[in-house]
Chains A and B, each alone.
Chain A
Amino acid sequence: MTTTKDPLGLGDIGPARFSSVPEVRQGLAEVGYLADEGIAGVVYLADRLAKPVLVEGPAGTGKTQLAKSVAELTGSRLIRLQCYEGLDESKALYEWNYRKQLLRIQAGQVLADGAADPSADRHSPTWAELEEDIFSEDFLLTRPLLEAIRADEPVVLLIDEVDRVELETEALLLEVLSEYQVSIPELGTVRATRLPMVFLTSNNTRELSEALKRRCLYLHIDYPDIERERDIVKHRVPGITDELADQVARIVRSLRTIDLRKLPSVSETLDWARTLVVLGVSSIDATAARDSLHILLKYQSDIDKAAKELLSATEA
Chain B
Amino acid sequence: MLHLLSGFVEELRRAGLPVSLTEHLDAAEAIHHVPIEDREALKYALGATMVKSASHWHAFETAFDIYFARGLGSGEPGAAEDGSAPGDRRPLAGERQGQQGGGAMDQLTPEELAALLYQALLQGDQSLMRVIARQAVTRFAGIEPGRPVGGTYYLYRTLRNLDLDGVLARLVGQAKREREEQGQGELSPLEERLLGDEYRGRIDQLKKAVEDEIRRRLVEDRGAEALARSIRKPLPEDLDVMHATRDELATLQRALQPLSRKLAVRLARRRRHRRRGPLDFRATVRRSLSTGGVPVEPRFRHPRPAKPEIVVVADISGSVASFARFTLHLVYAIQSQFSKVRSFVFVDGIDEVTRFFERAEDPAEAVQKINTEADVVWVDGHSDYGHALGVFYDRYGDEITSRTSVLVLGDARNNYHASEDWVLAELRKKARHLYWLNPEPRDYWGSGDSIISEYGQHCDAVVECRTLRQLERFVGDLD
A37 to B292 CA separation, bound complex (whole angstroms):
58
Asked if A217 lies at the interface with its beta carbon under 8 angstroms from chain B, I say yes
Binary B-proximity of A281-316 (CB < 8 A = 1, otherwise 0): 000111001000000000101000100011111110
Determine whether the beta carbon of A1 is less than 8 Å from that of B193.
Answer: no
Provide the residues of chain A in CB contact with B23, threshold 8 Å: 214
Determine whether the beta carbon of A204 is less than 8 Å from that of B258.
Answer: yes
Determine whether the beta carbon of A286 is less than 8 Å from that of B190.
Answer: yes
- The interface-forming segment of A40-48, A141-149, A186-194 is A40-48
A247 to B193 CA separation, bound complex (whole angstroms):
12
Residue A45 contacts which of B45, B198, B258, B290 (CB distance < 8 angstroms)? Answer: B45
Asked if B294 lies at the interface with its beta carbon under 8 angstroms from chain A, I say yes
Determine whether the beta carbon of B290 is less than 8 Å from that of A99.
Answer: yes
Determine whether the beta carbon of B41 is less than 8 Å from that of A41.
Answer: yes
Provide the residues of chain B in CB contact with A21, threshold 8 Å: 34, 41
Chain B residues 4-37 with CB under 8 Å of chain A are: 18, 20, 22-23, 25-26, 28-30, 33-34
Determine whether the beta carbon of A37 is less than 8 Å from that of B41.
Answer: yes
Determine whether the beta carbon of A250 is less than 8 Å from that of B265.
Answer: no
Determine whether the beta carbon of A312 is less than 8 Å from that of B189.
Answer: yes
Residue A48 contacts which of B33, B40, B51 (CB distance < 8 angstroms)? Answer: B33
Asked if B262 lies at the interface with its beta carbon under 8 angstroms from chain A, I say yes
Determine whether the beta carbon of A1 is less than 8 Å from that of B54.
Answer: no
Interface centre among B23, B26, B266 (most CB of A within 10 A): B26
A1 to B31 CA separation, bound complex (whole angstroms):
13
Min C-beta distance of B88 to chain A, whole Å: 14
Provide the residues of chain A in CB contact with B461, threshold 8 Å: none
Determine whether the beta carbon of A49 is less than 8 Å from that of B30.
Answer: yes
Chain B residues 351-400 with CB under 8 Å of chain A are: 361-362, 364
Determine whether the beta carbon of A285 is less than 8 Å from that of B54.
Answer: no
Question: Knowing A21-B34, A41-B41, A51-B26 touch, does A205 contact B194 (C-beta < 8 A)?
Answer: no
Residue A218 contacts which of B48, B296, B364 (CB distance < 8 angstroms)? Answer: B48
Determine whether the beta carbon of B20 is less than 8 Å from that of A214.
Answer: yes
User: Nearest B residue to A284 by beta-carbon distance?
Assistant: B190
Determine whether the beta carbon of A311 is less than 8 Å from that of B41.
Answer: no
Determine whether the beta carbon of B22 is less than 8 Å from that of A98.
Answer: no
A59 to B350 CA separation, bound complex (whole angstroms):
40
Determine whether the beta carbon of A213 is less than 8 Å from that of B52.
Answer: yes
Provide the residues of chain B in CB contact with A289, threshold 8 Å: 190
A312 to B188 CA separation, bound complex (whole angstroms):
8
Binary A-proximity of B41-54 (CB < 8 A = 1, otherwise 0): 10011011101111
Provide the residues of chain B in CB contact with A251, threshold 8 Å: 190, 194
Determine whether the beta carbon of A218 is less than 8 Å from that of B47.
Answer: yes
Asked if B273 lies at the interface with its beta carbon under 8 angstroms from chain A, I say yes
Binary B-proximity of A220-261 (CB < 8 A = 1, otherwise 0): 101000100000000000000000000100110110010101
Provide the residues of chain B in CB contact with A284, threshold 8 Å: 190
Residue B292 contacts which of A106, A206, A254 (CB distance < 8 angstroms)? Answer: A106
Min C-beta distance of A159 to chain B, whole Å: 16
Asked if A56 lies at the interface with its beta carbon under 8 angstroms from chain B, I say yes
A313 to B194 CA separation, bound complex (whole angstroms):
12
Residue A205 contacts which of B29, B57, B265 (CB distance < 8 angstroms)? Answer: B265
Asked if A210 lies at the interface with its beta carbon under 8 angstroms from chain B, I say yes
Question: Knowing A42-B48, A44-B33, A218-B48 touch, does A1 contact B25 (C-beta < 8 A)?
Answer: yes
Interface residue tally of chain A, by bracket?
A: 35 or more
Residue B273 contacts which of A48, A49, A166, A259 (CB distance < 8 angstroms)? Answer: A166
Binary B-proximity of A9-50 (CB < 8 A = 1, otherwise 0): 000000000000100000000000000011001101100110
A219 to B296 CA separation, bound complex (whole angstroms):
43
Asked if B196 lies at the interface with its beta carbon under 8 angstroms from chain A, I say yes
A210 to B52 CA separation, bound complex (whole angstroms):
9
Provide the residues of chain A in CB contact with B33, threshold 8 Å: 44-45, 48-49
Residue B269 contacts which of A37, A166, A257 (CB distance < 8 angstroms)? Answer: A166
Question: Knowing A206-B265, A218-B51 touch, does A250 contact B194 (C-beta < 8 A)?
Answer: yes
Binary A-proximity of B281-307 (CB < 8 A = 1, otherwise 0): 000000000111010100000000000
Min C-beta distance of A140 to chain B, whole Å: 17
A85 to B265 CA separation, bound complex (whole angstroms):
10
Determine whether the beta carbon of A313 is less than 8 Å from that of B193.
Answer: yes
Asked if B207 lies at the interface with its beta carbon under 8 angstroms from chain A, I say no
Asked if B330 lies at the interface with its beta carbon under 8 angstroms from chain A, I say no
Asked if A102 lies at the interface with its beta carbon under 8 angstroms from chain B, I say yes
Asked if A54 lies at the interface with its beta carbon under 8 angstroms from chain B, I say yes
Interface centre among A86, A99, A102, A214 (most CB of B within 10 A): A214
Min C-beta distance of B151 to chain A, whole Å: 26
Asked if B464 lies at the interface with its beta carbon under 8 angstroms from chain A, I say no
Residue A250 contacts which of B20, B29, B44, B197 (CB distance < 8 angstroms)? Answer: B197
Provide the residues of chain B in CB contact with A48, threshold 8 Å: 30, 33
Determine whether the beta carbon of B26 is less than 8 Å from that of A102.
Answer: no
Asked if B105 lies at the interface with its beta carbon under 8 angstroms from chain A, I say no
Provide the residues of chain B in CB contact with A314, threshold 8 Å: 189, 192
Determine whether the beta carbon of B49 is less than 8 Å from that of A217.
Answer: yes
User: Nearest B residue to A288 by beta-carbon distance?
Assistant: B190
Asked if A4 lies at the interface with its beta carbon under 8 angstroms from chain B, I say yes
Determine whether the beta carbon of B52 is less than 8 Å from that of A102.
Answer: no
Question: Knowing A49-B33, A206-B262 touch, does A214 contact B292 (C-beta < 8 A)?
Answer: no
Residue A219 contacts which of B48, B188, B265, B269 (CB distance < 8 angstroms)? Answer: B48
Asked if B201 lies at the interface with its beta carbon under 8 angstroms from chain A, I say yes
Min C-beta distance of B40 to chain A, whole Å: 6
Min C-beta distance of B35 to chain A, whole Å: 8
Residue B190 contacts which of A86, A106, A285 (CB distance < 8 angstroms)? Answer: A285
Provide the residues of chain B in CB contact with A204, threshold 8 Å: 54, 258
Determine whether the beta carbon of A56 is less than 8 Å from that of B54.
Answer: yes
A98 to B290 CA separation, bound complex (whole angstroms):
10
A301 to B196 CA separation, bound complex (whole angstroms):
24
Determine whether the beta carbon of A313 is less than 8 Å from that of B189.
Answer: yes
User: Nearest B residue to A106 by beta-carbon distance?
Assistant: B292
Min C-beta distance of A4 to chain B, whole Å: 7
Provide the residues of chain B in CB contact with A219, threshold 8 Å: 48
Residue A49 contacts which of B26, B44, B47, B362 (CB distance < 8 angstroms)? Answer: B26
Provide the residues of chain B in CB contact with A99, threshold 8 Å: 290-291
Binary B-proximity of A142-167 (CB < 8 A = 1, otherwise 0): 00000000000000000000000010
Min C-beta distance of A315 to chain B, whole Å: 5
Question: Knowing A313-B189, A314-B189 touch, does A37 contact B44 (C-beta < 8 A)?
Answer: yes
- 10 pairs of A and B residues whose beta carbons are closest in the complex: A301-B361, A213-B52, A41-B44, A217-B48, A220-B54, A48-B33, A254-B197, A218-B52, A38-B44, A42-B48
Instruction: Pull 14 A–B residue pairs with CB atoms less than 8 Å apart, ordered by A.
Output: A37-B40, A41-B40, A166-B269, A205-B258, A210-B18, A214-B23, A217-B26, A226-B201, A250-B198, A253-B201, A284-B190, A286-B190, A310-B193, A314-B189
Binding site for A on B (CB under 8 A): 18, 20, 22-23, 25-26, 28-30, 33-34, 40-41, 44-45, 47-49, 51-54, 57, 172, 188-190, 192-194, 196-198, 201, 258, 261-262, 265-266, 269, 273, 290-292, 294, 296, 361-362, 364, 472
Known contacts A44-B33, A205-B262; can you find 18 more A-B pairs with CB under 8 A? A1-B28, A4-B22, A4-B25, A41-B41, A42-B48, A45-B30, A49-B30, A86-B273, A102-B292, A207-B262, A217-B26, A251-B190, A257-B197, A286-B188, A309-B193, A310-B189, A310-B190, A311-B190
